[in-house]
A and B are shown apart, each in its own frame.
Chain A
Amino acid sequence: MGALALLLFGIIFLLILKGYPVAFTLAGVSTLFALILMVFVPDAIGMRDLSLLPNRFMGTIDNFMLMAVPLFIFMGIMLEKSGLAESLLETMANLLGRLKGGLAISVVLVGAMLAASTGIVGATVVTMGVISLPVMLKRGYRPELATGVICSSGTLGQIIPPSVVLILLAEQINASTQGAAQVDVGTMFRAAFVPGFLLVVAYIVYIAVISILRPHWAPSVSPEEIAAFRGPGFLGRVLKAFVLPMLLILAVLGSIFAGIASPTEAAAVGAIGATVLTLIEGRLTLDILRQVMQQTAKLTAMVFWILLGATTFTLVFRTLGGDEYLTELIQAADLSAMAFLAIVMIVIFICGFFIDFIEIIFIFVPVVTPIFDLYEVDMLWVGILMAINLQTSFLTPPFGFSLFYLKGVAPPGITTQHLYRGIVPFIIIQVLVIGLIVLFPEIIYLIK
């Protein structure tokens, strides 16, 4: 049966490339595959199994933290309409004018700040895409670089606390170990901080280096423009560009850190904030509001129907024993601790193609944790490695969720190929950072 599950995996892999919407290919092929098996291999799956679909859909609806997605998308689109996001990024680019790639670096920094307020990738990638992709393209950035920067910094939310991935990992690891290993949420957050920071630094270094090596990929601001920018009224312009957006970021992060709102609720604070800013800028009309609502609806639908499609796939995949097949593969191999870790990481990475990260955590962590326990491996370290690995799986062609989400907001000129080519350097960075943490586990203990 496990073989049938892998066959399904392969078929979807091929059919998704035909270009029919991802969500419906994922769900539809799984459903059709199940229906066909019902006729020819009735032992494998039945209508009874598919009846679990509504219960699984309910799991997506009943997940309070996923509410951050429409809220953040609302905020991003509203901010874009206000014109403030653009002027903030342009001003930052001008300030960093001499530094090549200044605009892209600004995007990474804004992405890192958003990351500190949510851990939901769909929310950050779409928001960053709406706000910054048009600005970078207008400035003549190479589409590959622009999209790569957004996808990767949009997934930082997973590793920079607070983060749902870290919370779920901590919970599952904790539940599956006996006593000794204490991986509570707070410890996990502290351990993730430095790796998250390393990623941000590594992205920035890459952007700076590539902008020097390939100046036309990231056009620097022209000397005339910088001169004009530095001319009379410089301070006023900077203040004007910074003050309002910074107030917004302060409202979102501040409401979390001051204990006014939970991370998810802070997204609603941000949405209200962005609306107020648009009002202050004198751009809030009923027509603009209507456009914001309609764009939000389309993008929210795009994100969530992929999740509903993924949950359908996972139901069929699991019913056919695909998960058991993989976990047995992991368990059966009589390996050294490091080889075992490597296998686990590879399997999780591959599953990241089609299976929602939450489900990956549910499937694998309870199985592998007791084995890591036997090897007496530090579970905090394994947890952080898994978190970065899951984050990477969001970025990996052909089917990283992050790539889908950005494609959903990108202008028609941006093709899937741009996204695939653009993300490669960032995946290499991810792998390097994972390698660094494997070699120097003390990194995660730098903040006590």
Chain B
Amino acid sequence: MQTTINFLEAISERVGRLAAWSTALMVAVIFFLVVMRYGFGSFNQQLGELTTYFFALSFLFSSGYALKHDSHVRVDLFYAKWSERRRAWVDLLGTAFFLLPWCLVAIFTCWKYAYNSFKLGEVSSQPSGLPAVWVLKFIILFGFVLLLIQGLALALRSVQTLRQR
């Protein structure tokens, strides 16, 4: 079980750390666009649209990473006072009954949404825009896949805690 947990968490960690740079890219591109517009009266539609892609990456690809580091906020009125065992129960049941159904429904519906766009070869609605809008839709899908992966790791960890006597 430990091997599985390590494997799943490694995915969250690596993807999260890499995707974390997307905010830096977003900052750079927006700043560049501002300078170009103010200084030279020009605008690049493709770069303008690209900021949305980086923005999507900035929170969707860090879904599992944030869960691994327990950054998703909890109302800890009671949770903070409970024993480790009781907290493990909350995490196990919460993952099984809340996170899992949501991720599965989201993955199922997002797959159809993204695949339809891909099949169509959907491009930007702007004539000078980006040639592959479907990429953005797949980013949503993978955001949920990553969340599911880390959710499984969390559930296994909780099981581990509960097994300890």
Contacts and interface: CB of A to CB of B under 8 A. Distances in A.
Contact of A398 (B34, B63, B75): B75
A379 interface: no
Given A19-B79, A55-B113, A260-B38, A305 B105 contact: no
Contact of A23 (B69, B72, B113, B137): B72
Interface residues of A, number: 65
A298 B71 contact: yes
Main secondary structure of the interface of B (DSSP, over half): helix
Contact of A416 (B16, B75, B87, B94): B75
A230 B56 CA distance: 49
Interface in B1-45: 16-17, 19-21, 23-24, 26-27, 30-31, 33-34, 38
A297 B66 contact: yes
Nearest to A52: B109
A298 B101 contact: no
A312 B109 CA distance: 13
Given A55-B113, A58-B140, A302 B72 contact: yes
Contacts of A21: 67, 72-74, 94
B146 to A, nearest CB: 10
A20 interface: yes
B60 to A, nearest CB: 8
Given A32-B101, A53-B109, A73-B23, 11 more contacts: A27-B98, A28-B100, A28-B102, A29-B98, A30-B102, A67-B52, A70-B58, A297-B16, A305-B72, A398-B75, A407-B73
Interface of A: 16-25, 27-32, 35, 50-51, 53-55, 57-58, 61-62, 64, 66-67, 70-71, 73-74, 255, 260-261, 265, 268-269, 271-272, 289, 293-294, 296-306, 312, 398-399, 404-405, 407-408, 415-417
Closest 6 CB pairs of A and B: A28-B98, A19-B79, A20-B94, A301-B66, A21-B72, A297-B20
Interface of B: 16-17, 19-21, 23-24, 26-27, 30-31, 33-34, 38, 51-52, 55-56, 58-60, 62-63, 65-67, 69, 71-80, 82, 87, 90-91, 93-95, 97-102, 105-106, 109-110, 112-114, 136-137, 140, 147
